[in-house]
Amino acid sequence: MRWFWVDRFTEFVGSSHAVGHKGVALSDDFMHDHWGAYPTMPHSLMAEGMAQTGGLLVSELYYFKELVVLAKFSKLAFHGITRGGDSLTYRADIDNIRDVGASVTVTGHCGDELRAEGEIFFARLQTRDVENVDPKLPKRLFDPSDLAEWLHIVGIFEVGTRKDGTRMRAADYGLPSDLAC
């Protein structure tokens, strides 16, 4: 099973913000494992959806080539519950970019109702082209073909632009662009 917590992006502006969407269905197995007779989406999975939205936004800062990992939620709050049939809209905004990583503010809405909000710091780990890097670190977190497929499936290259308004293209990031998704 793949754990994708964003189904589609409708906005993705590099170095700025991203908006992604997740449709919640009663057919999702996790819905019935949480509260049994009252199926809801676990808050931890909403946090994961916000983290995936923000993580891809931060990874784009480094052309999807560097190791970027969630380091911490410095703030995280949930408001209400999410049930089958709901559609979540996640938004991530870049707050601060530093040499060691970047922080984002994230929200999760169902319509106009705020369901979750937080602040996340994503650490930028050293890559192999840096002196004194730990040789145990992988060169990349994702195989470039797998990453390109994921980014195509969720529509990042359909809607993505850089802050200057130019379109994001897979080839600009050294990723395969010949995928038919």
Sheet holding 87-98, edge to edge: 67-78, 113-125, 101-110, 87-98, 17-23, 8-13, 160-161
User: How many Å apart are CA 122 and CA 137, to the nearest integer?
Assistant: 17
Residue 50 structure tokens: 């916000």
pTM for the whole structure: 0.92
pLDDT of residue 109: 99
Q: In this predicted structure, what is the pLDDT of residue 138?
A: 80
* Both structure tokens of 175: 């990723």
- Considering the domain 8-164 in this protein, what is its CATH number? 3.10.129.10
Report which of 35, 32, 34, 5 is spatially closest to residue 20, judged by C-alpha positions: 5
pLDDT in tens, the chain (181 residues): 468 899 999 999 999 999 999 999 998 888 887 777 889 999 999 999 999 999 999 999 999 998 999 999 999 999 999 999 999 999 999 999 999 999 999 999 999 999 999 999 999 986 555 667 777 778 788 889 999 999 999 999 999 999 999 999 999 999 988 765 5
Decide: 108 and 44 in contact? Cβ < 8 Å: no
pLDDT at 1: 41
Q: Which token pair is 128?
A: 């192999």
DSSP 115-181: EEEEEEEEEEE--TTSTT--TTS-S-SS-HHHHHHHHHHTTHHHHEE-TTSPBP-GGGGT-------
pLDDT for the residue numbered 179: 67
Q: Which two tokens stand for residue 176?
A: 């395969």
